[in-house]
Structure 1
């Protein structure tokens, strides 16, 4: 009985530790969006090429259009670069 409780406690702690380390997926907008039908504006912006978008919307009563964030120059901001490490000069 004591061994079963220890196993369950260990399993529970492992599950909680797994949940604690989960991070949300980074949202990324692509240049092309599937629009219309069940999608609100700007649509499902998950396509890097017009051809990918066209293949996805085929037969779904949707259409493809530019992602407004890209069309009007509001793409995702660039991540700041980490500071450059400079090696100190060797003393002579």
Structure 2
């Protein structure tokens, strides 16, 4: 009677793991710039994908926009090695 439980658990685990990957990639794209200021603190409201979008939200307030510290201090990716001769 319990022979079907193991495949069901395996299928649910695979479905859960498969759904996590794309959501994490979307989060990385969404938060490049942060709205910062007295009201927002540091790092601020980091939900803006472009500087212009952040500045439009900051317009008329005492807030300003800066790069998300998570990206500013992240290790840079290295490209493929190329000979220089």
Q: What TM-score comes out, normalization by structure 1 length?
A: 0.48
Name stretches of at least 5 consecutive residues in structure 2 with no aligned partner: 1-23, 76-85
CA RMSD of aligned residues (A): 1.8
Once residues 58 and 69 of structure 1 are traced to their aligned partners in structure 2, the CA distance between those partners, rounded to angstroms, is 24
Report the alpha carbon displacement of residue 73 of structure 1 after superposing the two structures with TM: 1.0
- Paired residues in the alignment total 48
Tell me the SS of whatever aligns to 1:59: coil
TM-score, normalised relative to structure 2: 0.51
Deviation sequence 1:13-71 (CA, Å, 0-9, x none): xxxxxxxxxxxxx8x46110000121121000010000000000000110000000011
Q: Which consecutive aligned stretches of 4+ in structure 1 deviate over 2 angstroms post-superposition?
A: none
Q: Tell me the residue number matched to 1:79.
A: none
Task: Find the structure with the greater CA-based Rg.
Answer: 1
**Which structure shows the higher helix fraction?**
2
